[in-house]
Amino acid sequence: MRLREPRLADQVLVDGPVDGVATITLNRPEKRNALSIAVRDAVSDALDALAGDEGCKVVVITGAGGVFSAGFDLREFEQPELADQLWASSDRFHRAWLEYPLPTVAAVNGPALAGGFDLAVMCDVRVASDSARFSHPELSFGDVVYGPLHDLVGGSVARDLCLTGRTLEAAEARHLGFVSAVVPSYDLPRQARETAGAIARAPRDVLLRTKAKFIRRAGVAGATLDL
């Protein structure tokens, strides 16, 4: 699958689906895989296309280099003329993940911070390298996404993470059940393939019905700042 714009094709790589599994890679390692407006829109476009691909059963999201994602591109918040586009893109991006009709797996290859933490939270299953860590540093200047995290780790832990901005290391994330596996960095691609492959063994129509139950149960509604 190819994204329309060559520059974005370099920043958001889409492989597959192969054996039912498609992989989206955030490919801005020099920017710590920051989620710019353009990148968010490209990812949302990719999800829309994959949802309609009968050969796709599972989507894996990961990052290039040593960082999963450092979150939104903060330079764009310094440009008032981008405000409408920024929030429209953000709302679409969150909705694309939260309502994606098939299972999603986050292969967290390193730090997942702020919006990168949210991206991992919005996936159905998370596997992580031992270098992964999660935090909400944006607490010092803006809102955090709370509701989906609460559903995964419970109110006590979610409030702690959202109010203090402390770092959740990979080992603690595994203990809490936030991630289902922690492996050495070199082994993460294998673990992600194994996890996605196990999901992809089910018929696509069964996965669609099961994911629909997840979405109904979560009942997540509202725009980015309401989550």
Where helices occur in 107-203 by DSSP H, the ranges are 115-122, 147-153, 155-164, 170-176, 188-200
Neighbours of 160 (CB within 10 A): 13
Out of 5, 76, 78, 138, which one is annotated catalytic? 138
Active site residue 138: yes
**Crossing angle of helices 37-51 and 83-98, rounded to 10°:** 30
**For residues 12 and 8, what is the distance between their CA atoms, to the nearest angstrom?**
6
* Contact status, residue 46 vs residue 77, Cβ threshold 8 Å: no
Catalytic residues: 138
